[in-house]
């Protein structure tokens, strides 16, 4: 069930997964509308349709990227299903019993293209995510310089945000899902090609989304799998309610810090012509590979504004999450291991605070 109008153009509605929670629409406004800046000021999500932020990148098809991305190495994640659940490598090494949800490869862009062709036939799905850095070719640098930095820089200053920490280039297969999680940075999520469905949940829904413990490799990720929610373990997930934006080329979605988001690559109705230069179309398996359709996005992560000098009460949901994180970290270090944090918190709370 979804309230209000859902954007209907460009993607195949059959590629929209049905979930158990109600969904409202995130406002989609022009950069000329003052309401955009009121929503950003209030740390509320909004889609800006004509910011021009990444117009210079709208020509980034795979052929252009192959030509100009340079010969650096790229992080490519592989998943045996369509979910790409992030995990922290260091923490994963510490807990032996942790089954790694995704595999990580370091490959050249051409190898990534080969993987795209070969993965067409295998179960494994792949997702490239690579920080845009100085290893990229001159043309990409030019396009990057031509981003609308005046527009985004003005917001960064007006909001008192910290520095831009990174821009991640994301190239995924249609059907790829980044499961619901939150990040501790402000994000201008920009869509270059293809369509992505972004489901957002406000930070005050922490108890509905049951994040893993902070010390867990999947810190900041929800334990709930939307496609098969375990209501016995996570009963409050019944109270979750989402806001949704379907972003297409040129759209920018403001994802406020601490807001939960799940991102799903939809099936595009007009597959892109990748203009792949004389790419050997016969893969090692000999099948004449045509590249499967992909989505391309780039995000802009900004460090948070410094905390205000005086705390206003009642504290915000974001501040509540930050306090809980600090308590979990403090207890894990005070007790020497994260395993006893739960027991100690129950001892503190049971019969005393509840
Ligand atoms: C799933 C993946 C590839 C991954 C694997 C391993 C480590 C990190 C990440 C990572 C980080 C960010 C994104 C982009 C976006 C979601 C989306 O567009 O899919 C998002 O969440 C954001 O911009 O905040 C995607 C990924
Ligand atoms: Zn994220």
Q: In this predicted model, what pLDDT tens digit does every residue of 44-63 receive, in sequence order?
A: 999 999 999 999 999 999 99
CB 299 within 8 A of CB 191: no
pLDDT band of residue 276 (cuts 50, 70, 90) is confident
- Among the residue ranges 155-159, 268-272, 296-300, 318-322, the one predicted with the least confidence is 268-272
Which residues have C-beta under 5 Å from ligand 2, the single-atom ion? 183
For residues 34 and 39, give the distance between their C-alpha atoms in angstroms, rounded to a whole number: 9
Mutate to test the pocket of ligand 1, among 83, 103, 168 (most ligand atoms within 8 A of CB): 168
Give the position of tokens 């802009």.
300
pTM: 0.95
Listed in order, strand segments (DSSP E) in the chain are 23-25, 28-29, 46-48, 74-79, 103-107, 125-131, 164-173, 177-181, 186-193, 196-201, 242-247, 252-255, 260-265, 294-302
280: pLDDT strictly greater than 60: no
259: pLDDT strictly greater than 60: yes
> Does ligand 1 have an atom closer than 6 angstroms to the CB of 92?
no
CA–centroid distance, residue 201 to ligand 2 (Å)? 12
Contacts 24+ apart (CB under 8 A), 232-240: 234/210, 236/207, 236/208, 236/210, 237/20, 237/21, 237/208, 237/209, 237/210, 238/20, 239/205, 239/208, 240/21, 240/201, 240/205, 240/208, 240/209
Q: Which ligand is nearest to the CA of 168?
A: 1
For residues 78 and 73, give the distance between their C-alpha atoms in angstroms, rounded to a whole number: 16
CA–centroid distance, residue 298 to ligand 1 (Å)? 10
CB 82 within 8 A of CB 125: yes
2: pLDDT strictly greater than 60: no
Q: Which residue in 55, 20, 48 sits closest to 34, CA to CA? A: 48
> Does ligand 1 have an atom closer than 6 angstroms to the CB of 221?
no
Sheet with 294-302, strands from edge to edge, namely: 28-29, 46-48, 252-255, 186-193, 294-302, 164-173, 125-131, 74-79, 103-107
140: pLDDT strictly greater than 50: yes
Helix (H, G, I), strand (E, B) or coil at 184: coil
Residue 164 bridge partners (DSSP): 302
CA–centroid distance, residue 78 to ligand 1 (Å)? 13
Q: Any residues with CB less than 8 A from the CB of 104 and at least 6 apart, and which?
A: 75, 76, 77, 78, 89
> Does ligand 1 have an atom closer than 6 angstroms to the CB of 124?
no
- The pLDDT value given to residue 286: 42
Structure tokens at 204: 């005050």
283: pLDDT strictly greater than 50: no
pLDDT tens digits for range 125-136 = 999 999 998 889
Give the orientation angle of helix 341-349 with respect to helix 317-335, to 10 degrees: 120
| Percent of all residues in the chain with a pLDDT value above 90, rounded to a whole number | 81
Structure tokens at 199: 């489901």
> Does ligand 1 have an atom closer than 6 angstroms to the CB of 127?
yes
């Amino acid at each position: 069930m979804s309230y209000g109008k859902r954007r209907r153009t460009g993607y195949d509605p059959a590629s929209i997964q049905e979930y158990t929670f109600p969904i409202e629409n995130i406002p989609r406004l022009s950069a000329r509308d003052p309401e955009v800046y009121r929503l950003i000021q209030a740390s509320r999500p909004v889609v800006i349709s004509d910011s021009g932020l990444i117009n210079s990148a709208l020509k980034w098809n795979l052929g252009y990227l192959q030509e100009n991305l340079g010969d650096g190495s790229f992080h490519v994640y592989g998943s045996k299903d369509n979910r790409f659940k992030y995990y922290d490598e260091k923490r994963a090494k510490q807990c032996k019993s942790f089954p790694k949800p995704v595999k990580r490869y370091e490959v050249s862009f051409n190898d990534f293209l080969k993987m795209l062709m070969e993965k067409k036939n295998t179960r494994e799905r792949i997702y490239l995510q690579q920080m845009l850095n100085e290893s990229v070719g001159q043309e990409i640098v030019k396009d990057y310089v031509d981003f609308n930095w005046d527009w985004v820089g003005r917001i960064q200053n007006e909001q008192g945000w910290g520095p831009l920490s990174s821009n991640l280039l994301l190239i995924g297969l249609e059907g790829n899902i980044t499961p619901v999680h939150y990040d501790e940075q402000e994000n201008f999520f920009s869509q270059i090609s293809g369509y992505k469905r972004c489901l957002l949940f406000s930070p005050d829904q922490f108890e509905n989304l049951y994040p893993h413990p902070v010390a867990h490799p999947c810190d900041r990720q929800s334990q709930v799998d939307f496609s098969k929610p375990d209501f016995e373990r996570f009963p409050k997930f019944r109270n979750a309610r989402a806001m949704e934006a379907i972003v297409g080329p040129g759209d920018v979605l403001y994802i406020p810090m601490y807001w939960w988001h799940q991102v799903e690559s939809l099936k595009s109705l007009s597959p892109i012509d990748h203009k792949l230069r004389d790419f050997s179309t016969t893969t090692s398996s000999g099948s004449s590979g045509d590249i499967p359709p992909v989505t391309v996005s780039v995000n802009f992560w900004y460090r948070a504004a410094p905390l205000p000098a005086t705390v206003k009460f009642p504290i915000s949901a974001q501040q509540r999450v930050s306090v809980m994180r600090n308590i979990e970290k403090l207890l894990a270090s005070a007790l020497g291991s994260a395993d006893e944090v739960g027991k100690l918190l129950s001892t503190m709370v049971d019969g005393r605070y509840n």
